[in-house]
Amino acid sequence: MQSNVLLISLVLMAAMAVVFYVAARASDGPEPGPRANSKRTGLIWAMLVVGVLVSVGTLRPWPHALASTDDTINVAITSGQWWWEIDTVEIPAGKPVNFSVTTEDVTHGLGIYNADMRLLTQVQAIPGYTTEITYTFDEPGQYEILCMEYCGIAHHEMVNEFEVVSVEE
């Protein structure tokens, strides 16, 4: 997933570079006439329509509803400068987990990583609010919580962990 995002970003950046290059070269030529202006207006409208369609198409699944099945696990995570506190240290694999995330001071970014340090899910911890996210861990193992939003001098030390255990155990 992350390498796909990187690839898409690089392709789009290359496309942007081509657009800037062509625009810079075109700016050396004579002043554009009325036909160029109407072409430009059409292009802006086309970009607007495509932008709205892409946004609606890709954002429709959000916000996700929280899981509400019988086997849903509720886990509360509290945060502050510079710590995470989890009220559950062993989470069963394969069951939806509803995380309720709060902060006692400033905004923090809860990021849950697997043992390979791949980001699995994230949500912000916002002062005065409880933010919630559902995630199902398929693989048993050690998982880490890191802060994804710079929150002060010891931000990098805001680390905690929990274990996902297989249900057969």
Q: Which residues are at the interface with Cu ion (CB under 5 A)? A: 108, 147, 151, 155, 158
Cα separation, 27 vs 18, in Å, equals: 14
State the nearest-atom distance from the C-beta of 99 to Cu ion, in Å.
16
State the nearest-atom distance from the C-beta of 6 to Cu ion, in Å.
25
State the nearest-atom distance from the C-beta of 4 to Cu ion, in Å.
27
State the nearest-atom distance from the C-beta of 81 to Cu ion, in Å.
7
112 or 158: CB nearest Cu ion: 158
Distant-in-sequence, close-in-space partners of 101: CB < 8 Å, separation ≥ 6:
77, 79, 110, 123, 124, 125, 130, 131, 132, 133
State the nearest-atom distance from the C-beta of 107 to Cu ion, in Å.
8
101 or 164: CB nearest Cu ion: 101
141 or 152: CB nearest Cu ion: 152
Is the backbone of residue 4 left (phi > 0), alpha (psi -120 to 50) or beta?
A: alpha
123 or 151: CB nearest Cu ion: 151
Cα distances (angstroms) measured from residue 142 to each of 89, 104, 112:
10, 26, 11
Angle at 137 between CA 135 and CA 143, to 5 degrees: 100
Long-range contacts of 56-65 (CB under 8 A, 24+ apart): 64/133, 64/134
91 or 125: CB nearest Cu ion: 125
